[in-house]
Structure formats: C-alpha cells, structure tokens
Amino acid sequence: MREAIKKGLEEALDTDPNVLIMGEDIGEYGGAYAVTDGFLSKFGPERIKDTPISEATFIGTGIGAAAAGLRPVIELMSISFSLVGFDQIVNMAANIRYMSGGQIDVPMVIRAPTGAGVQLAATHSQSFETWLAEVPGIFCVCPSNPKDALGLLRSSIKNNNPVIFAEPALLYGLKGDVPDEYYEIPLGSASISQEGNDISLVSYGAGMKILHETSEILAKENISCEIIDLRSLSPIDYDTIGESVKKTNRLVAVDTARKNGGIMAEVVANVQESFNDWLDGPIVRIGADDVPWPYNKNLEAEAYPSSEKISEKILKTLI
C-alpha cells in the first residue's frame, strides 16, 4: 500500500507542474513511513518542501497555495497532529469556496497516517477522520488496500476541493494487486468487497481485514457474509449500503476507531431512517473501547475490535 500511494504521488508530480508536497521530514528523510523516499533528489526542493514542526503553519501555507492555483499535497506525520491545524482545515480550507461564492477553489490533499494497532500510544493512535468527515466542504476518504489507495489518491489530487486522505498506519505494508492500466476511483463510492446473502458487514480502512476474518468464522456456521468497504467517509455511499441491506436484511457496522462518535453511528442512523423496513433484526454496532489507546501491546489489542468479538456478538444478537 505504501508503494501504491508513492506511485500516485510520483505520477501527479510528473504530470502536473502545479502539484507539490509539503510536510515534516518528507525530503531528505523520505517521510515518516518512507512514502516520499527519493522524491527530493528527483523533483527538487521547490516541489518537495520540508517544513518546520508547525502543522497550522504549513497547512495554512497549503491553503494559500491552493487558492492561488497550485495543487499541494500536505503530509502529516499522524492524523493526531491535525488538531494543531484544525482552525486552518475546518474554518479556512472547508469554507473558502463557499464563502467566496465559488470564486476560489482550494484543491489540496491532506494525507495522514491514522488509527491504532501499531503501538504508538494514546497521542499518536487517534482516528480523527471520524471528526473531519463531519465538516461540510471537505471530502474524506480512507482506503483499505493498494488498488483503492492509488485510485482514490488520483481522484483526490484532481479534485477542486480539500480532501482528507486518511491512511491506516496498520496497512502500509499490506500487499495487493494494482492494475497496470490507468484507473480512478470516484470519491463517495463504496465497494462490495465480498458478495454474500445472509448478513451485511460494513467498515473501512483497517476494519476490512477484520471483516474478512469475521466472515471466515461465520462461514463455519453456514452464514454467508456480504462485506462493504465504505472507502469514502464523506460523502458516504448509502445507495450501496442500502442495496446490500435489501439483499441480506441484516447489518453489522464496525469501527476500528472508538465506538463513541465513530463513523458507524452515522451509518446506523441513516440505515435505520431509510431502510428500516428491510431489516429483520437489530443493527449490530461494534467499535474500539472508549479509552485512551494503550501503548502495551496486549492492552491495545484488548481495546481494539477483533473478528472473535464481532462474530461472538453477531451469533448472540442476530442468529
């Protein structure tokens, strides 16, 4: 997945002279997760800009550059650090196009590792894509595999609005096939990761691996699972979710972020409003425990949702 993201960035830098990248240690060091390794020597310091440790400053700089006609890609070392730049992201980037009556676009992408599961402790394991997805004027996506990461990144860089591109830190080493032919994945489109008939499972990002493991456990009970990958958290593709619910009549929604305030709260509420007549049982919602993320590996795993916890709850609640 790391290489897929790198391919998308390199491709954009090669083909569009307005694209530049800014962030901490993205140049000589090659990025905290090695995504921009080699970019400085290839593209030079005018387009690969190492910044001071001041997210508010370089996010604000990116907004100004975007409003002036460039297409900056901002890399944060962690989505946890977006807090320092929330005023720039939420008040400025998201609202400039609206407040200018469509006269000023802000075509920028903010890339950031997100999520727990890699022992980075409480202040580096947050999943603030769940907060940022609530902000009108911003697109928010989170890929779960290399193919989607490349397709979504291509669309994000070409979009004339700010895009939060949340990259699950747990998945940088995930391997998967990526087509040689050029393709893009539209923002706001979910995908059916696996066809099934008995129950619909929905998540995004790092949650997808857990859902496929859950499906294998339930298959032993002769339960056929359909798996939905949201991919886009704002906007959410309720058409795809709704069609799946009409097919299976049951829904399980899983957040790898904390359950309280997670994306799945919104999914569950909207499905309940729009597709309630198709449901044959209560919606099951599962998320991480509402605690600060522990550094200790065993404690972190205990707070994190697992296929065992999910399948156990499904069997108790729905079957």
- Would you please indicate which residues are annotated as catalytic (active-site) residues? 55, 124
Contact 188, 14 (CB under 8 A): no
CA distance 156 to 288: 28
Q: Rounded CA gap, 152 and 129, in Å?
A: 15
At residue 172's C-alpha, the angle toward residues 52 and 305, to 5°, is 110
Report d(CA 214, CA 217) in Å as an integer: 5
The residue type at 68: A
- Show the tokens assigned to 260: 């309280």
Residue 128 has which token pair? Answer: 């603030």
What angle do helix axes 146-158 and 2-15 make, rounded to 10 degrees? 30
Handedness of CA 58, 146, 230, 292 (dihedral sign): negative
H helices then E strands: how many in the chain?
A: 12, 12
Q: Per this entry, what is the length of the chain?
A: 319
> Phi and psi at residue 244, in whole multiples of 5°?
-70, -40
| Single-letter code of the amino acid located at 251 | L
Interhelix angle 263-275/238-248, nearest 10 degrees: 60
